[in-house]
């Protein structure tokens, strides 16, 4: 039984059959098998990766397949970032505005109760609240 392998002849530029020893033939077959296996594995992963849907800039973070919907870790991180932004914005308010926000949202007082505390009507408290919330929105988003 002859052991022949196909090799590229650099002189002629063609593939040619070359007779080799049994040991060389065995190594050649194992190397060829490993190469084919690696190629198959590579292409399998390449095809799977090419099916991913990324963002316009192709950033890894934009691949939807890597984002776990409802992941409590990412949800918590987003919530913490939002809270930190809100606290930073509140620190920039003057003391009277901070006091009104505390009364309305922390102490859960109504606008009427705040109006009675300040000795003004509820409509003025509502206007102040909307002005403060608008300012907070701008501080957080710009």
Domains of the chain: 4-50 (no CATH), 69-141 (1.10.10.10)
pLDDT single digits (tens) 110-122: 999 999 999 999 9
- Which pLDDT value is given to residue 47? 47
pLDDT single digits (tens) 27-71: 877 776 667 666 666 555 554 554 554 555 555 555 555 555 666
Average pLDDT over residues 65-89: 77
The model's pTM: 0.48
Q: In the block, which residue shows the tokens 């309305």?
A: 104
């Amino acid at each position: 039984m002859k052991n022949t392998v196909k090799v590229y002849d650099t002189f002629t530029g063609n593939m040619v059959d070359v007779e080799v020893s049994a040991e060389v033939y065995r190594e050649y077959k194992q190397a060829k098998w490993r190469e084919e296996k690696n190629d198959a594995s590579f292409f399998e992963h390449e095809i799977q990766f090419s099916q991913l849907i990324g963002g316009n800039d192709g950033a890894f973070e934009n691949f939807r397949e890597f984002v776990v919907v409802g992941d409590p870790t990412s949800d918590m991180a987003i919530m913490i970032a939002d809270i930190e932004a809100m606290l930073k914005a509140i620190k920039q308010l003057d003391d009277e505005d901070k006091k009104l926000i505390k009364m309305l949202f922390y102490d859960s007082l109504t606008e009427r109760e705040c109006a009675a505390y300040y000795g003004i009507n509820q409509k003025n408290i509502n206007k102040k609240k909307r002005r403060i919330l608008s300012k907070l929105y701008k501080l957080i988003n710009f």
